[in-house]
Structure 1
């Protein structure tokens, strides 16, 4: 295709992508009680070969020609990197300080049990040729452990916020555990990426570079970035010039992580966690969230959907693998978090609520498995199974939480009106309505 043809195809694609994601997201929110983003995850699969390509393959191929996937890929990476930057902006260190002991117990348990599942099933999955060439058992185990143990931290924050639980023991404990959990999963993924391909020097560059970047950002970052916060406070807003500086820093951070062989999302998230809070963080979220959530993230969901081929899971053996992954993920993650919460003194409804929330994978899972597919760690069939697991566990989160905790909490009068100000909203999707 010529550049002019690609341009025409791109704008038509974006019309279809945005329209489908908004429509399916609206249906999910209105009739299923799910956040908008859950419907958009499903919309991405609908637009791919699993449904649209199955029912109308010629039209689907015409709308999403092979040559245009490169453009979608770049937009998807920008979208998910910016999303993680916004997640980092909403990250609150006080969640760690107030619940460190219980949160660590829940988080460690919620990672240890999925990793035991990964140890058990990784050799089996390798024997089914579901991983890429050159992947050994150790790498497969680490990747599956990270994929199964990840928590949809932004969605967890959204559910807690919408139900008025932000400052309750359940809310603070869940957010603390989710943050620790995801930090651990991303660290494991970074190790897998660093060890995959290119020899030992590539791994050394990725690990040493990643550690150096994190240490630099966490130690010197707040001090170096403080003038940006004072600039915003002085003007009472984020001006175009200031927003330009922030975006340049985001691009540089994403570039640094990509260049050393990890991934752009790490750079975006770490930068977000050390940005000054107050006017700067609040106004950046207001200015960037709508475009990131409405335009860029749907590109990521669609790109994931185009790589999802559920029809590849087409025999009893692969269906069994998919079922084992799904059930193992749910029981290991939810059960371990429930047990840890109980052992650290939480009552049963609270522990069950924590287990239900922590069991959601959401967009975090899609990010991990997309990286795995792009780097050749997993094959298309396993990718599709993990997409299915991500959708099912995410769909389960809200109704399961309502079933095991919501009604009981209302009876105790714990779910009242929100008293928090606007800056207490979850970092992503709180201010963007369908």
Structure 2
């Protein structure tokens, strides 16, 4: 068993390798017009057994060991545990930031227009994913024995239906579509999709507890937590709304008062601890804290402080851990290959087709509806969070995990370029996505409402 010093020393090397790989892939994928999250996903995949392990297996096993034999028994390597913990900390802070950036202004202001499109973008993928998940449970090898057919259907339905709202906000803002019908309806649909997917996942997590009491604790504890946060905690946190820059200048430093920052961190980690304790996972707790935080200068300053550490240090460890659990060789098994093709077809066609047809029914042009369907397939980090929850909770096997990770990378990778393809086609035909015929331009006011900010972590 390695000593604490040996674990720490090796961890420093691992973090350096992770950050170097991440920056290299960011430079490459930036030239391809891809968001940072795609570079992160591919970097994690490349450092795992599927790429580096295939090219130089001894090097990959030395840098990122996963198991350690102690007295003839294989146990998890301490460094893998350390990477997991760092990644989970980054994930919790990231989900807090997502919740803090998640506003319902756009959804409320475009509710009538987006209702049909949102419903189609959720219902059709849910049905297709649910049927596919049910069949995969019956086929065996994709879900663990603790998962019933209907639970597997709900899990895959959530995996297929989800859209990464934060990443989508980044893409739309970067394309200058926030003040257009396309941008606002896409964000509205993504908000509904994510909400439905997380409700389904929470249901699966609660019902797959080892006992009925565990399921009741998960459901009851989650409901109590939610009600407490939106009623009591929201009012207590509202006191932060009175914070202003002038108050900060009275302090010794021109930055955020340490007491305020400490309180927010304490609330986030306690919320994450409680939701983990009752069995509905820490990301739910962190997201709700961010959602109930009062909007204002204090929250903006806190997010500015969190973003560099989360995006460039903590969160990449989560992608590496995901990559270490992905084995590309599994996809070449005939049964897994067929399942992978089916899941990819259902995930892409279900989202694109449903959103496209609903958008056309709402009066959008073919090119505008096609752009909206393409954007709906941007799953990104939110999908990987869902998959890691399923894997850590012993709901899915490595085969299904690999299938869904590949589906996530492929659908996220094509979302941006496909949308730009529809947009270029619109320009060539004299059509633009602006509300009054002008070229789409970013609106700072809408950007502030819909997107976390331009320096936000990878979506």
Using the size of structure 1 for normalisation, the TM-score is: 0.95
Moved more, 356-365 or 404-413: 404-413
1:9/1:272 CA distance change after superposition, 3 Å: same
Match of 2:129 in 1: 118
Residues in 2 aligned to 1:170 and 1:221: alpha-carbon distance in whole angstroms: 35
2:392 equivalent to 1:369? no
Query: 2:243 touches 2:297 (CA, 8 Å); kept in 1?
Result: no
Q: Deviations over 1:201-230 (max 9, x none)?
A: 111111121122222222333322111121
2:74 equivalent to 1:73? no
Match of 1:386 in 2: 404
Residues in 1 aligned to 2:377 and 2:389: alpha-carbon distance in whole angstroms: 21
Gaps of 5+ in 1: none
Match of 1:249 in 2: 267
Match of 2:444 in 1: 420
Match of 2:100 in 1: 89
Equivalences for 1:12-161 in 2 at 5 Å? Answer: 12-30=13-31, 32-66=32-66, 67=77, 68-126=79-137, 127-161=139-173
CA offset at residue 240 of structure 1? 2.2
1:114/1:418 CA distance change after superposition, 3 Å: closer
CA offset at residue 411 of structure 1? 5.0
Residues in 1 aligned to 2:208 and 2:384: alpha-carbon distance in whole angstroms: 20
Residues in 1 aligned to 2:272 and 2:347: alpha-carbon distance in whole angstroms: 30
Query: 2:179 touches 2:443 (CA, 8 Å); kept in 1?
Result: no
Moved more, 205-214 or 5-14: 205-214
Using the size of structure 2 for normalisation, the TM-score is: 0.90
Q: Deviations over 1:367-414 (max 9, x none)?
A: 001110111110001100100000000001111111113552685354
Match of 1:404 in 2: 422
Aligned residues: 432
Q: Secondary structure at the match of 2:332?
A: coil
Structure with larger Rg: 2
CA offset at residue 282 of structure 1? 1.2
Question: Which of 332, 339, 342 matches 1:321?
Answer: 339
Match of 2:368 in 1: 350
Taking only aligned residues, the RMSD between alpha carbons, in angstroms, comes to: 1.9
Q: Deviations over 1:126-160 (max 9, x none)?
A: 21311112211011000000001110111100011
CA offset at residue 432 of structure 1? 5.9
Q: Secondary structure at the match of 2:192?
A: helix
Q: Deviations over 1:32-87 (max 9, x none)?
A: 11012211110000000001111111111111122111111111111111111111
Q: Secondary structure at the match of 2:243?
A: helix
Query: 2:310 touches 2:457 (CA, 8 Å); kept in 1?
Result: no
Query: 2:147 touches 2:395 (CA, 8 Å); kept in 1?
Result: yes
CA offset at residue 248 of structure 1? 0.8
Moved more, 219-228 or 307-316: 219-228
2:225 equivalent to 1:213? yes
Moved more, 408-417 or 14-23: 408-417
Query: 2:390 touches 2:396 (CA, 8 Å); kept in 1?
Result: yes
Match of 1:285 in 2: 303
Gaps of 5+ in 2: 67-76, 249-254
1:249/1:154 CA distance change after superposition, 3 Å: same
Residues in 1 aligned to 2:439 and 2:287: alpha-carbon distance in whole angstroms: 31
1:406/1:414 CA distance change after superposition, 3 Å: farther
Query: 1:132 touches 1:377 (CA, 8 Å); kept in 2?
Result: yes
1:114/1:431 CA distance change after superposition, 3 Å: closer
Q: Deviations over 1:146-181 (max 9, x none)?
A: 001110111100011101112221111111111111
Residues in 2 aligned to 1:148 and 1:74: alpha-carbon distance in whole angstroms: 27
Moved more, 258-267 or 101-110: 101-110
Q: Secondary structure at the match of 2:62?
A: helix
Query: 1:206 touches 1:262 (CA, 8 Å); kept in 2?
Result: yes
